[in-house]
A and B are shown apart, each in its own frame.
Chain A
């Protein structure tokens, strides 16, 4: 009875909070993290040791960094009615280009930070070029985005193998490890990369007219074109940006494992990125998008993966478990499903009263 009385005073704040588009993704993330506490009571604990922050939460954020970066690029491509399924392959290209650059330069006797910056520049240039290729196919040639980027998704791994000569390139160069494994101010450096990209992007979209143009193009490309919006140029640059993000992710991944695997780096990453965008509440049909939502979506996916390992799901079924959890999270986010759920929950209650 007391609960019921408290309920009547709560709804207005609760309802407003749940009206926010980020509410459900955040709730899903929180539920996942709390669920882990059941199996491991110390799951949420954070510890400051040797000037660094340790804990499962830091791990999840750190491991999610590449996916977050790729998801941010994917969000904007999807926002203008596009799709980029080549991001995994572009990540592999960037990783192998970085590894190849370092290998060649250190073999040539270069020391210091020269190879590091050369590798970053070469990898990002290669990834950006890949994005440009995708964008040109979509905007100039007029291909369907999924087909246009399918080309690089398939061929990209071949290109990466050409660069690596079919080998897994191992990086014996200490400074490079900092990108994906180093700490700054006690936090993993990768988190700073993510934060920088996110903040710059948020400022670009909110403080300039870019956000408006992206949404206009996504909702109605033809009307935006007639209104004088340079829809094609903007769309092209978003594909370039998606490539750039995949390049950054490639740097983090290859640095983290000190090697570049043309075949397996970023495998199926495109699907996780699309999923992160969907989980974050962006419309897959374009127009409505949320960068913060995609960030949370990527964190959900990484938290899921961590959870599956933590609760000891047998490896042969963990993809199935992941799929089921994703389905649950997505269902929770659809208003129709929630309405049905509410009806199921409230009916017995009323009957009881």
Chain B
């Protein structure tokens, strides 16, 4: 066993009345990829914040190479050798790759920045990750995956001993994930300790050497992947048995003769989606799959009026409609849980109650305000129905954990009692239990007559949850499969083989 690099012991942290972390411990060794697992609210983010100097612990200690450290700022943590790459890349999109790599620590010559050296060293740094990029390119013109690599390269550049990767894979497609894992393995060989936070269970087994599980702010245990099968890992995270399979109720298939609620005929938009034909029946779940960039989100945006369709026709209940604005879609009983929860979903500054009633109120118009009593009733009802964990309904949504924020967005749409609910990656970045709860509720509502378009990047979710599976490839509809199809079949259709 290699040497312990970082040892955190008995870390505790309170935020107001919430005990975010309660005596948690973590032990990182040189040259290992260490997965940090736990549900939303288990304390992963808090632990990372304490390690990287974003917050200071109320109790407990952190030792790095046998020396006690107490970083007060992320910069101090960086100087100590702890670098972090966050889920949302925290670089400057309008600066070039080279500038991003050296911002704040430019090599200087005669007091001026030595740009030649900046470029040369930037290229060298990227070469270590086997990346061949134009370092003068603005970061914003690179895909997210590359931006993440640049963030990692920056961490390398400050000669980090410990690299913290906070959900790096949540916005990457499979190829990009593979590339990232290759980079992580190379860094491991150089003796770096990598703390890897993710919600994807299979990725944990693919890449990590050790797993630490947190629950309710405390350490559950440290495991080797080989001694902890997936079901046991989930049990450790959740603290109770969850049914991993579940999903579609095969005994009660959706009626094939149910009325068509929404129909797209040749719906498309230049540069974003080739014309698509699609039918959604009442009470059915249509699972929509495809690789990143295959046009999944684009289709959702067209159906909801977020983008104007360039061609084709959309019918709701058989009547052709033109959607100029999401408000038009909402008025016709459509609902969309967007992919970007933070920017397009929640209104962080508003309370849980206000977030839940927002879409319903928007549909009623500004003149017909819902009474306070009705608002409270609706909010209470959906908080209970979806098991939203919040101090009370007047808490700002921004204070909730990711999974609970997603439930609030879902509640907002369920309150409008939509005919069609479009879920664009509703389970991304949220924990297993919340995922199960959300999908169980959606399936139940589908059985009561709501049509659901369920968009997911996780291939095994598609046949499990969909009555039918539609697959997009290269911005056009590649085909359809019946629900319960074999995962490999779906994969073939998505990847375009065979």
Determine the interface band of chain A, counting residues with CB < 8 A from chain B: 20 to 34
- Other-chain contact of B347, A210, A216, A228, A230 (Cβ < 8 Å): A216
A208, B367: Cβ atoms closer than 8 Å: yes
CA distance A234 to B347 in the complex (A): 17
Given A209-B361, A219-B349, answer yes or no on A227-B367 (Cβ-Cβ < 8 Å): no
Assess whether A213 is interfacial by the CB under 8 Å rule.
Answer: yes
A209, B343: Cβ atoms closer than 8 Å: no
6 A-B contact pairs sorted by A residue (CB < 8 Å): A219-B350, A220-B349, A225-B326, A227-B412, A229-B327, A230-B327
B363, A228: Cβ atoms closer than 8 Å: yes
CA distance A300 to B346 in the complex (A): 36
Which residue of the partner chain A has the closest CB to B369? A209
B394 → A minimal CB distance (Å): 14
- Other-chain contact of A208, B345, B369, B412 (Cβ < 8 Å): B369
CA distance A287 to B336 in the complex (A): 23
A242 → B minimal CB distance (Å): 18
- Other-chain contact of A209, B329, B346, B366 (Cβ < 8 Å): B366
Assess whether B364 is interfacial by the CB under 8 Å rule.
Answer: yes
- Other-chain contact of A226, B336, B366, B370 (Cβ < 8 Å): B336
By Cβ-Cβ distance, the 5 closest A-B pairs, closest first, are A228-B330, A219-B349, A228-B362, A228-B327, A220-B347
Which residue of the partner chain B has the closest CB to A204? B366
A213, B350: Cβ atoms closer than 8 Å: no
A216, B344: Cβ atoms closer than 8 Å: no
Assess whether B265 is interfacial by the CB under 8 Å rule.
Answer: no
B348, A213: Cβ atoms closer than 8 Å: no
Residues of A within 8 A of B412 (CB): 227
Known: A215-B354, A223-B346, A230-B327. 5 other contacts (CB 8 A): A207-B369, A208-B369, A209-B370, A227-B330, A227-B358
Which residue of the partner chain B has the closest CB to A226? B344
B327, A223: Cβ atoms closer than 8 Å: no
A222, B362: Cβ atoms closer than 8 Å: no
Main secondary structure, interface of A, reads helix
Assess whether A168 is interfacial by the CB under 8 Å rule.
Answer: no
Given A219-B349, A225-B326, answer yes or no on A209-B364 (Cβ-Cβ < 8 Å): yes
Q: Which of B385-425 contact A (CB under 8 A)?
A: 412
Residues of A within 8 A of B304 (CB): 226
A335 → B minimal CB distance (Å): 15
Q: Which of B261-303 contact A (CB under 8 A)?
A: none
A212, B349: Cβ atoms closer than 8 Å: no
CA distance A220 to B365 in the complex (A): 19
A226, B367: Cβ atoms closer than 8 Å: no
A226, B338: Cβ atoms closer than 8 Å: yes
CA distance A225 to B363 in the complex (A): 12
Given A208-B369, A226-B338, answer yes or no on A220-B343 (Cβ-Cβ < 8 Å): yes
CA distance A220 to B343 in the complex (A): 7
- Other-chain contact of A219, B338, B347, B363, B369 (Cβ < 8 Å): B347
Assess whether A322 is interfacial by the CB under 8 Å rule.
Answer: no
Assess whether B444 is interfacial by the CB under 8 Å rule.
Answer: no
Assess whether A57 is interfacial by the CB under 8 Å rule.
Answer: no
B369, A223: Cβ atoms closer than 8 Å: no
Q: Which of A215-248 contact B (CB under 8 A)?
A: 215-216, 218-220, 222-230, 234
Assess whether B172 is interfacial by the CB under 8 Å rule.
Answer: no
A226, B326: Cβ atoms closer than 8 Å: yes
Assess whether B306 is interfacial by the CB under 8 Å rule.
Answer: yes
Residues of A within 8 A of B362 (CB): 209, 213, 227-230
CA distance A227 to B359 in the complex (A): 5
- Other-chain contact of A212, B329, B338, B358 (Cβ < 8 Å): B358
Assess whether B19 is interfacial by the CB under 8 Å rule.
Answer: no
